[in-house]
Structure 1
């Protein structure tokens, strides 16, 4: 009769023999679990966008909506997440009721030192005469361009407005290097700037002979509310300047 020790040893041997050994798949899952328990490597911080000198072009009837953008750096001054606001060089539209020739000089002077022109788009901005001039002059001097729709910004007088057309779609550069304006269903030479561009902007696609290319084809358009302009305006203006080589 076998001894107790021999029986116990046999049982141990038998148990050792039938115990499943870890497979390569088991080892792979074990390695993955170890990796999952380790903290992820820190991501590099995104570079801080440059603070640009920005000219804001807008229709004065939208002044209450415009102030959502102009005062973005003041509305929530105690908020730690507040972003820097591009330095403001706007020209209020009521000043534009002066002599046209003098007004052009004033606008040209206010554009000096800026690298970006931001068009704040309300319902009727696209058809304003002097908004078009500010865009055309900005384009001619090489400023970066962008459009920001502000119709969803509440106005104490009119509430929420309807979205207007992008004013950048109503000015274009022609195959002949001249600036064009869309009027009454057609494209015509822009009379306020007769000079030709000396070089084609790298950000604007070239049209075929006899055609024009609207400025909206090479520029970005945003919605202040939907795209969180409060936090992103600084990045938008910096991107527009870089695209224009400024």
Structure 2
């Protein structure tokens, strides 16, 4: 039975790539809302967006940040990381820049979204608990295969690291 995970990503730039990852089927992700649906949620204010995120993380063991060119530092991605950590969920990141978008273009490799976070009084880097994976392959097809072949193991490793 696939793990239940929450996908965090930059919708406007990466929704096509995220749909590809979701279609792998190794993970049961939350429903991905359309751009119009998300805009309707956002129009109700920040608390409505937070409520949607919080409700969709219920029952999820892991938050997977799918990293495109501009994912790191986005307001809602940061909120999802912070909220996931507070809820004791495992975290991991996967670079998706080599997966093609709807126009069959890759994008630039994005920054590590966990790099700015530290944990506890010792200020332990979050990267000790949240690994970021850069799938192997020179083209979209091989990167997709790499994600497909490894995502379940990456999730289990994230859960182990989170302890």
Match of 1:13 in 2: none
Give the deviation of 1:91 after TM superposition: 4.7
Give the deviation of 1:223 after TM superposition: 2.0
- Return structure 1 stretches of 4+ with deviation > 4 angstroms: none
- Residues 129 and 158, structure 2, Cα contact 8 Å, conserved in 1: no
* CA distance, structure 1, for counterparts of residue 162 and residue 46 of structure 2: 29
Between structure 1 and structure 2, the one with the greater Rg is 1
The TM-score with structure 2 as length reference comes to 0.82
Change (3 A) 1:114 1:161: same
* CA distance, structure 2, for counterparts of residue 222 and residue 161 of structure 1: 16
The TM-score with structure 1 as length reference comes to 0.56
Matches within 5 A, 1:13-92: 51-60=2-11, 61-73=13-25, 85-92=26-33
Structure 2 gap ranges (5+): 138-142
C-alpha RMSD of matched pairs (Å):
2.0
- Residues 52 and 238, structure 1, Cα contact 8 Å, conserved in 2: no
- Residues 66 and 120, structure 1, Cα contact 8 Å, conserved in 2: yes
Structure 1 gap ranges (5+): 1-49, 74-84, 176-206
- Residues 152 and 160, structure 1, Cα contact 8 Å, conserved in 2: yes
Greater helix proportion? 2
Higher relative contact order (CA 8 A, sep 6+): 2
Match of 1:213 in 2: 124
- Residues 93 and 133, structure 2, Cα contact 8 Å, conserved in 1: yes
Give the deviation of 1:138 after TM superposition: 0.4
